[in-house]
């Protein structure tokens, strides 16, 4: 089977998906906008071909270079597991007449207004929302919804340009900062805990599902630099107290008629137990969450994804063993990382609960913690017991410190 794989080199997880598909018997042809020799080795070694198409990930880009580049080669599947390429995958399926979700079917995953309209039309609970294309409309919408209110772009990712506003004055500041955004979603603020619901599906049938818990909520994690944000893959996504979110998740997939591949949904649980839809993407969760789900059950979802995509089966023997957390670290200070403290203590105290660690080395320049959730590095810990896991993850948060100057 010939698989066209968009963005095989980035983000970090992509080469492993390429490898999974190849190992499962596919001929994988990569499409990217950079030179082939800059791809990570794992991607290069597992690709049967590569088409370089500069600018291909821009909205409305010319598909000609890819279509012509393929020549006589027929394509059986188009796969993209990276948000900026999801709609492109749909356009390419349409252009190449390849089975799977086309552009129209994928639009609700990229346009948050269409997304919420469809979810709400199925009778599922969404935040009240209004789309505004002018500043006046946005002001009016905030007055109607009351405070606090959320302002965000239509096709956001990673909490960029998402603002909580508690007053009219804060709305004005947010609108000024969003000056470059054409359309703004104005939303009722939902107070509560925030979770994910992630699946691998085949032809509308969920074959695998997972729930992660964000500590704290992404908007807070993105606003307060000293926090070491955690994503916790919960050992038992079928626990009774998560039932509302799980049912919501499966219902959303039905409402949007999701077909095949990874999905990543976010949802809220209010203190009164009500669950509310947040958003959904037609791709896996980012920031090493696929690795996190793998560590939680000692499985390989890169292979599981490939199997589902290529044959519609999922033969992983799933034994949910651990709660697993990835903790993202941000150095104190600006500039170059000068010192990392607490690594040895961490190893001693956590023992085999410490699964993996990838910190920027001393001498490296700090990453932009606002632009990338991975920040200056991450640590993964796991424990069968949730309290044990939270203690371990919090220990990484407080006792491992990086210093820059």
Q: Say whether residue 135 binds ligand ADP (CB under 6 A).
A: no
Stretch that binds ligand ADP, among 5-13, 214-222, 250-258, 306-314 (CB under 6 A): 214-222
Please report the DSSP string for 223-269 in residue order.
T-TT---EEEE-S-TT-GGGHHHHHHHHHHHHHTT--SEEEEEEEEE
Cα 123 from Cα 252, distance rounded (Å): 10
CB 155 within 8 A of CB 107: no
What sign results for the dihedral spanned by CA atoms 203, 204, 209, 215? positive
- Nearer CB in complex with ligand ADP: 20/278: 278
Instruction: Find the shortest distance in angstroms from Cβ 402 to ligand ADP.
Output: 25
Contacted by 175, from ligand ADP, Mg ion, none: CB < 5 to 8 Å by type: none
Q: Measure the CA–CA gap between 125 and 341, rounded to whole angstroms.
A: 45
189 binds ligand ADP (CB under 6 A): yes
Nearer to Mg ion, 190 or 350 (CB): 190
Q: Provide the mask over 283-312, with x wherever binding to ligand ADP is found by CB under 6 A and - wherever it is not.
A: ------------------------------
Nearer to ligand ADP, 185 or 210 (CB): 185
Which of ligand ADP, Mg ion, none does 194 bind, CB closer than 5 to 8 A by kind?
Answer: ligand ADP
Residue with the two structure tokens 């949910």: 320
Which stretch, 28-36, 98-106, 153-161, 331-339, contacts ligand ADP (CB under 6 A)? 153-161
Strand 77-80 relative to strand 261-269, pairing:
unpaired
Does 279 bind ligand ADP (CB under 6 A)? Our answer is yes
Query: Which residues are CB-contacts of 280 (< 8 A; sequence separation ≥ 6)?
Result: 109, 115, 119, 252, 256, 263, 264, 265, 266
CA atoms within 13 A on the CB side of 350: 28
| Measured distance CA(48)–CA(9) in Å, rounded | 14
216 is an interface residue for ligand ADP by CB under 6 A: no
- Contact positions with Mg ion (CB under 5 A) in 231-270: 266
Tell me which of 66, 82, 108, 194 binds ligand ADP, using CB under 6 A: 194
Q: Is 156 in the site for ligand ADP (CB under 6 A)?
A: yes
- Under the criterion CB under 6 A, does residue 323 sit at the interface with ligand ADP? no
Nearest to ligand ADP of 194, 309 (CB atom)? 194
Closest to ligand ADP by CB, 69 vs 158, is: 158
Q: Is the CB of 191 or the CB of 348 nearer to ligand ADP?
A: 191
Q: Which of 219, 227, 251, 316 binds ligand ADP (CB under 6 A)?
A: 219
CB closer to Mg ion out of 120 and 356: 120
Q: How many residues bind ligand ADP (CB under 6 A)?
A: 20
- The tokens describing 186, both together, are 């104005």
| 181 interacts with, out of ligand ADP, Mg ion, none, CB within 5 to 8 A per kind | none
Number of residues lying near Mg ion (CB under 5 A) = 1
Of the candidate residues 24, 215, 217, 366, the single one contacting ligand ADP (CB under 6 A): 217
Angstrom distance (rounded) from CA 173 to CA 224: 18
Whose CA is closest to 10, among 70, 57, 48?
A: 57
Contacts of Mg ion in 265-294 (CB under 5 A): 266
- For residue 83, state whether it binds ligand ADP (rule: CB under 6 A): no
Partner that binds at residue 309, options Mg ion, ligand ADP, none, CB closer than 5 to 8 Å by kind: none
Q: Please give the distance of CA 49 from its chain centroid, rounded to a whole number.
A: 27
A 10 A CB-CB count for 55 gives: 9
DSSP states along 330-359? --BSSSBEEEEE-HHHHHHHHGGGEEEEEE
* Vertex 265: Cα angle to 191 and 40 (nearest 5): 125
How far apart are the C-alpha atoms of 294 and 286, rounded to whole Å? 13
Q: How far is the CB of 127 from ligand ADP (least distance, A)?
A: 4
Using CB under 5 A, list all residues that contact Mg ion.
Answer: 266
Using CB under 6 A, list all residues that contact ligand ADP.
Answer: 127, 150, 152, 156-160, 162, 187-190, 194, 217-219, 266, 278-279
């Amino acid at each position: 089977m010939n698989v066209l794989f968009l963005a095989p080199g980035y983000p970090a997880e992509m080469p492993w998906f390429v490898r999974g598909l190849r190992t499962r018997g596919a001929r994988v042809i990569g499409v990217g906008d950079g030179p082939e020799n800059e791809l990570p080795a794992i991607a290069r070694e597992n690709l049967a071909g590569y088409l370089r198409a500069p600018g291909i990930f821009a909205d409305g880009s010319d598909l000609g270079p890819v279509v012509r580049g393929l020549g006589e080669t027929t394509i059986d599947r188009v796969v993209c597991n990276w948000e900026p390429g999801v709609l492109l995958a749909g356009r390419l399926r349409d252009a190449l007449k390849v089975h799977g979700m086309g552009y129209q079917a994928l639009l609700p995953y990229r346009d948050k207004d269409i997304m919420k309209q469809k979810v709400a039309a199925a009778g599922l609970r969404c935040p009240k929302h209004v789309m505004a294309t002018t500043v006046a409309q946005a002001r009016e919408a905030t007055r109607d919804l009351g405070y606090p209110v959320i302002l965000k772009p239509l096709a956001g990712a990673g909490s960029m340009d998402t603002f909580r506003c508690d007053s009219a004055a804060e709305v004005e500041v947010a609108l000024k900062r969003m000056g470059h955004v054409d359309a703004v979603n104005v939303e009722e603020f939902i107070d509560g805990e925030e979770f994910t619901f992630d699946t691998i599906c085949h032809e509308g049938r969920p074959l695998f599902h997972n729930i992660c818990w964000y500590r704290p909520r992404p908007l807070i994690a993105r606003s307060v630099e000293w926090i070491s944000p955690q994503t916790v893959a919960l050992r038992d996504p079928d626990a009774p107290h998560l039932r509302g979110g799980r049912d919501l998740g499966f219902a959303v997939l039905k409402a949007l008629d999701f077909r095949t591949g990874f999905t990543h949904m976010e949802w809220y649980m209010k203190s009164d137990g009500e669950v509310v839809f947040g958003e959904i993407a037609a791709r896996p969760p980012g920031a090493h969450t696929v690795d996190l789900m793998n560590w939680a059950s000692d499985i390989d979802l890169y292979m599981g994804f490939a199997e589902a995509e290529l044959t519609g089966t999922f033969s992983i023997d799933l034994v949910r063993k651990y709660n697993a957390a990835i903790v993202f670290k941000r150095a104190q200070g600006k500039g170059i990382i000068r010192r990392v403290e607490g690594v040895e203590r961490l190893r001693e105290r956590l023992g085999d609960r410490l699964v993996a660690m990838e910190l920027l080395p001393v001498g490296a320049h700090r990453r932009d913690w606002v632009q990338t959730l991975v920040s200056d590095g991450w640590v993964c810990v796991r424990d069968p017991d949730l309290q044990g896991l939270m203690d371990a993850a919090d220990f990484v948060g407080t006792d491992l410190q990086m210093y820059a100057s």
